[in-house]
Structure 1
Amino acid sequence: MSAGLPDPKELEELLLGGELRYTRVDAVRLSGVTREFSGRLWLAFGYPSMGDDVIAYTEGDVAALNRIRRLMDDGVLDEDGVIRLVRAFGQTMTRLAEWQVNLLGSMLRDDPNEPPGAEALESIMELADKHIGEFEPLVVHAWRRQLAAAGTRAMAAAATRDGETGAALRTTVGFADMVSFTQMSRELDEMELARVVERFEETASDIVASCGGRLVKTLGDEVLFSAATPKVGGEIALTIAAAVKDETEVPDVRVGVAHGPVLPLMGDVFGTTVNLAARLTSLARPGSVVIDAELADELEKDPDYEITRIVRRPVRGLGIIQPYVLRRAAPTP
């Protein structure tokens, strides 16, 4: 270990909120789950494999295993359902934890291009020791808020299905893609590029939320969003395109939006409609929004928009499509 750096075990126990005191055999015995199931859970959470005799579990780990066992005993979830739920938590929290550590590290060191040294790590430990009890409820609060929003969207979607069968829902989905990102990545250093990506994601995320849509995922130079209605989808697309034009730090974006059946799965969305939205993005000019025929049909009578038919194009995997450019209607004199 480098001189002056905190003890990794001390840091781990501080952040875990308890002493590492149990082996895997101990945790299995105390929780009542099987050895095989505990191994599946550990991997689903995203933790590295541990030998049976390695002391790697805290009281909190045993309590979590007990809660999971009770959920199965009460018939709330079966083993496969638990594994899927735990994997969702694990993958989400992995990104959140890395994001938070990187953010704290950059805030606590003089040169953001340098890795955190002993002083920065000591500051992170001190911050965690004093304030982790205040951060933890914020995570639960955000989760409950997002859970409520997702539940409300699911109820609204169910109310509009009118007896339709199948898992796919009719949804508006769109991609916003930064222009010339590859060239920009060659011209900027890593920290400058990261700042551009962060600013783009912040702008898009705020707009999607304020319009009432959902940010499905971010892909560096691209974001994928969804909206329950065509109107909301159109508003998100046009607002992102306009806002990024005014951003000095972020290059223009191309936006492609489509409306149709979408399969929601594990927080993501899949299907031909999603693929079509991605293809439409490649047809858009910088700063513009291109939509598919179905979304154009949904919005054509809305006085807030101007829809222009453009040349039919062949797109990979989907054949010949008819794209349209979406703009805001000119103000009435």
Structure 2
Amino acid sequence: MGGRETSGRPTAEQIEHTFVGSPPRYTRVQVAKMAEVPQDLTERIWRALGFATLADDAVAFTDADVAALKRVRAMMESGLLDDRAVIRMARALGQTTARLAQWQAEIMIGAMLDPAQPPTDADLAAILETSRQLLPDFEQVLIHVWRAQLAAAGTRLLAIADITEEVVPTRVTLAVGFADLVSFTRVSRELDERGLADLVEGFESRASDVVAAHGGRLVKTLGDEVLFIAADPRAAAAIALELVDAIQRDGPDVRIGLAYGPVLPMMGDVFGTTVNLAARLTAIARPGTIIIDSGLADAVTGAPGTEVTRIRRRPARGLGLVQPYVLRRA
């Protein structure tokens, strides 16, 4: 297609040419041989990136694939990365970009198609042509944002290292929060598909904005629930208080559990007893309330604009009796 508009239904070859460029020329055996990377490692990288294993005679790899594998080989030969690090990097790249690509495709389709009408071949061709026009600029923006996020991640690690004396600590002390939409199952039955999508996207976007505004990090979203972290417990409290206000303005109630303690960061996620405790506190919380643990209560007591109230001890599955507190605005 390469710059020429078409009114016919786009083919798989046209889509691949638009986004990848060079056509497939090589089998998986040939691409490994040309890049001088062992065949088994090439296949492990391909699977880690999230792509299916192809037949030996399937022509599916391009010159760009060869060039990318040569770069991987150069990093390994220089001693910068070993096999294990390469596979972990490939998995992180594959999972993140797969979600990004799917999300972007859905945004483009939603912006350009009338949901009440079935798409025509011309509609699909127009989406592909618009994507082709936006691709160069978006590629540059993507690289810029990725570099900025790397800088932010590096800054966070330095701040943690100042406390723990470890650049990449096995455990760090963080505030962990879960925010959960109340009665999501019931509400979802009352909405059509578009209404449900708007509800979930609105919740996730508002949560993302609030968390970022206070210097926290949104770890993951689970439809009716978000998980966030913050190095500063008072920032986590501010996030929770603002989230309750922001979500309630749109109708549904939200409940939040916060805990402060050691966590294990791994694969962009966080694990450990503190994370489990935050989840259990969320289950205890009533609609529109924030329940925190004693660690976070100690850290935020006396902070301007906040009020901490001790309530009766509760059993938490897998954790025994816990001492919860209610966090409110003063």
TM-score range, shorter chain: over 0.9
Q: Which residue of 2 aligns with 1:269?
A: 270
CA displacement at 1:323 relative to structure 2: 0.5
CA displacement at 1:115 relative to structure 2: 6.4
Q: Which residue of 2 aligns with 1:55?
A: 59
> Which residue of the other structure, out of 6, 21, 24, is the alignment partner of 1:17?
21
Q: Which residue of 2 aligns with 1:134?
A: 137
Counterparts of 1:328 and 1:255, CA distance in 2:
14
What letter corresponds to residue 286 of structure 1 in structure 2? P
Total equivalences in the alignment: 324
RMSD over aligned CA atoms reads 1.8
Q: Which residue of 2 aligns with 1:72?
A: 76
The gaps in structure 1 that reach 5 residues or longer are none
Q: Which residue of 1 aligns with 2:240?
A: 237
Counterparts of 1:115 and 1:190, CA distance in 2:
16
Q: Which residue of 2 aligns with 1:285?
A: 286
Q: Which residue of 2 aligns with 1:319?
A: 320
Counterparts of 2:167 and 2:43, CA distance in 1:
40
Percent of residue pairs identical: 51
- Superposed CA deviations along residues 139-192 of structure 1, whole A, max 9, x for unmatched, are 111111111111100100010125899611010000000000000111111111
Alpha-carbon spacing, 1:53–1:163, altered in 2? closer, same or farther (3 Å): closer
What letter corresponds to residue 136 of structure 2 in structure 1? G
Residue correspondence of structure 1 range 78-157 to structure 2 within 5 A = 78-111=82-115, 116-157=119-160
CA displacement at 1:114 relative to structure 2: 6.2
Counterparts of 2:83 and 2:169, CA distance in 1:
25
Q: Which is further off, 127-136 or 208-217?
A: 127-136
- Superposed CA deviations along residues 268-303 of structure 1, whole A, max 9, x for unmatched, are 000000000011111111111110011101111323
Contact 2:160 2:167 survives alignment (8 Å):
no
Q: Which residue of 1 aligns with 2:176?
A: 173
Residue correspondence of structure 1 range 188-267 to structure 2 within 5 A = 188-248=191-251, 251-267=252-268
Pair 1:158-2:149 in alignment? no
Contact 1:105 1:120 survives alignment (8 Å):
no
Counterparts of 2:147 and 2:167, CA distance in 1:
29
The gaps in structure 2 that reach 5 residues or longer are 1-6
